[in-house]
Structure 1
Amino acid sequence: MDAHEVLSKYYEYANKGDWDSWCDLFTEDQVMDEQLAGHIEGLATLRSMMAGMDKMYRVFQNQPVRFLVDGEHAAAVSHLTAESISGKAIRAEVMNYFRIVDGKIAYMANYHDTVPFQVLSQV
């Protein structure tokens, strides 16, 4: 897959809640700097983390707005709308940076306002 296809699949699988296929987009030795979860290394760790998504969100949609690709470097701007398991609404504008090597995500970092996600820690 080229970078545009990888990015398209990244959002397609996330919006379907198909976290196994989403994880398949990453290299075995992937590194992620996730603004809420922190620094994540290795695909096994990522898979374990993503297995809990249905316990955090009733609804999770991350709609891409724009992709920018330059060789193995890519960025995506997206609009996230979600609902926590307790029913609280979450809205955020997101910027993701990707390094895509041989059709897989080797590195990813995301940037967004963390305030809307505070509802996840509320009972």
Structure 2
Amino acid sequence: MSAIEVLRRYYDAFNAGDTDGMLDCLSDDVAHHVNEGNIRVGKEKFAAFNAHMTRCYKENLTDMVLFEAENGTRAAAEFIVNGTYLTTDEGLPEARGQAYRLPAGTFFSLADGKITRVVTYYNLADWIRQVQ
């Protein structure tokens, strides 16, 4: 399976709210670099992060552009996050069901058909302006 095919499966699962489908695309020791946060290693920590995000946010990704390099060992995605802020996330503005639309991107490393590294970036200050 090509890197692009793995990313399509990963993002299709994301948009379907299918955490298990996302986890199936990851290596057991995946390194998840969270925007403005710490690196979480392993599927269990990824799943816990995803559960937290699902509680606080409802998101759908559109305008997806996928890139592949390094013979399928590196890939990237650029997209728009269309979301609703559901529950107040600690240290962030109060949630009142605010809608937001935010450009974002993710870099990936892959090995043996699995994602081994996920690094997501977005403009947190822009998101805060939209939900305040």
TM-score bracket for this pair, using the shorter chain length = 0.7 to 0.9
My pick for the range that moved more, 98-107 or 28-37, is: 28-37
Q: Which has the larger radius of gyration?
A: 2
Contact 1:14 1:22 in 2 (8 A): yes
Q: C-alpha distance in 1, partners of 2:68/2:3?
A: 7
Shift of 1:37: 4.0
Q: Hey, which of these two has a bigger chunk of strand by percent?
A: 1
Counterpart in the other structure of 2:55: 55
Q: 1:48 to 1:79 in 2, by over 3 A?
A: same
- Residue 112 (1) aligns with residue 111 (2): no
Deviations 1:47-106 (A, max 9, x none): 12212233112x310125311101211111111110011311121111110011111100
Question: Which among 111, 114, 117 is matched to residue 101 of structure 1?
Answer: 111
Contact 1:34 1:110 in 2 (8 A): yes
Q: C-alpha distance in 2, partners of 1:41/1:76?
A: 21
* Structure 2: runs of 5+ lacking an equivalent: 87-95
* Structure 1: runs of 5+ lacking an equivalent: none
Runs of 4+ residues over 4 Å off in structure 1: none
Q: C-alpha distance in 2, partners of 1:62/1:30?
A: 22
Q: Give, as a single letter, the amino acid of the residue that structure 2 aligns with 1:73.
A: R
SS at match of 1:107: strand
TM-score (norm 1): 0.86
**Coordinate RMSD, CA, aligned:** 1.9
Q: C-alpha distance in 1, partners of 2:106/2:42?
A: 18
Q: 1:64 to 1:29 in 2, by over 3 A?
A: farther
Counterpart in the other structure of 1:76: 77
Aligned length: 120
SS at match of 1:87: coil
Counterpart in the other structure of 1:12: 12
SS at match of 2:97: coil
Aligned-pair identity (%): 25
SS at match of 1:63: strand
